[in-house]
Structure 1
Amino acid sequence: MSLIILLLLLTACGDEAAATPQITPSGGGLLPFPTPSSNPRIGYATGAVAKVNGTEISANEFNQALDQTRVTSEEQNGGTIDWNTETNKTRLKELRDQVLQGLINYAVIESEARKENVTVSAQDVTNQLENFKQQIGGEDTYKIWLSRRFMSDTDNRRALEQGLLFSKMLEQHATVQDKEEQVKVRHILLGTEKEAKDIFVRLQQGADFAALATQFSLDVASAKKGGDLDWVFKGQTEPSFEQAAFSLKIGTFSGPIKTSLGWHIIKVEGREVRQLPLDLLEQRRQEAFSAYIKTLRDHATVEVLLNT
């Protein structure tokens, strides 16, 4: 995990795959991304930028992290960015604040890791580095990648060590349940309350739910399947829809339910504890770790020295 991903992930959370740099061939060569000679360092700090529990975050740490963030932004942009325009001055200011907050967050995590004796071995860093080099195309490409970020191999090893430590702390402090109760639902989406009430009456009179969904539902995708939305977990739908769906007994349907999409009639056809989707689990892990970081910060003494 590169330091740029680490920093952004410290205010949210990310994954290691996202850290792979995008170096795009153009006519047999590399795109004209920044180099030390073509794009001088911008937005730098001097002196300590913050203190966390009495320990300083140096200008050197901040400047290296800013280089990674800024240059990665330029790579994603497809080339160099003129940071002197009014729009990009604002953007640079935002990047500087993101970097600062990320470094502060990492500092509180690192401090807690020391208390818990969580460490990263030199061999772990070497293994991560070799995998990283393979991902981006080998040693020569790695040297280009370093030069674009004004980094040395030592700098990057330190960034990888930080990323690995971060990952270990995340594993220990962001555990979430991978299964929970879900309901299997169908629905009919209507544009008005009157239409929904009319459909509700027809259902009470014995009309087939799937047939009415196919004929009348404004949700075209589910209408083709008789209104089938498959299994729904908590947090997936709007609160009013969720409350109705999880309160219904199997085989029963609701009266008209209002959401931002319109008016729904909901039918529950199953209820069981099921495995959650991987993307939802990752999201919840991110949320749990973000909450953990906030707790650490709330109990830390943080002094911001950088004028962002």
Structure 2
Amino acid sequence: MKKVAIALLSVTLISSSACAENKDAENKNIVATYSEGEVTSEQVMEQFKPMLDMQPENKDKKFSELDKNVQEMLVKGFINQKLFEKEAEKLGIRSSEDFKKKIKAAESQLLQQELIERQLKTAVTDKLIDEEYNKLAKELKGQKEIKVAHILVDTEEKAKEIKKKLNKGSKFEDLVKEFSKDEGSKANGGELGYVMKGQLVPEFENKAFSMKQDEISDPVKTQFGWHIIKALDSRDVKIPPKEQALNGIKGKLSRDTIEKYITELSAKAKIELKL
């Protein structure tokens, strides 16, 4: 009886082992083979999931749910990486001093990035985002924005000459093309688009916001040179929906958080420059 029991136990263990192997084989979704072996969809997704999660159209998708072209690109990318790694091993790159220095530098950057990301996770909260949006909406309420164009030149004499031409009937857009040194607005007739108070240098802004529609200014001096300003339009500022303002708010809060964190670390370190 004892021998029979042992035999039955052996058969059971062998059967269980065989079933486990079959189950593992079934769970393997082989998507490619190459000289070094098989590639499964699980291996590919483990490698590229962080990248895919940054793409709204692919976030949280399984390999089988991805577009065929994306699947092919990921599989080829996985194999290429493995081929590179094998070739690097043959050449002994990992053990070279030059590579070790690069790894150390890269590790330092990754540590900084990880530290900052952890700070932002706890610091940039939904509550802070809501508070910042409410603050923004309050600041924008009742504000005006103006649409302006300008001609920028180096000297007051040149600006006065241009103003005389405008008084005699020359077209503003033609003179922009001929004289303005602001390459950013030159191709668009000198237009700077809609701006609010605080977005322009004070001398330019003070004059522009005091002008009526279609009025053209006398020469105005700023740190950039001499301007002839044309007022094109004025309208109430529209308060953007929260979804539209979200990226800008998160960016601002992130910058403020990082700046504060670095300041705190520097204060604790009691830094003294001896240059």
Q: TM-score, normalized by length of structure 2?
A: 0.47
Structure with bigger RCO (C-alpha 8 Å, 6+ apart): 1
- Which has a greater percent of helix? 2
Q: TM-score, normalized by length of structure 1?
A: 0.43
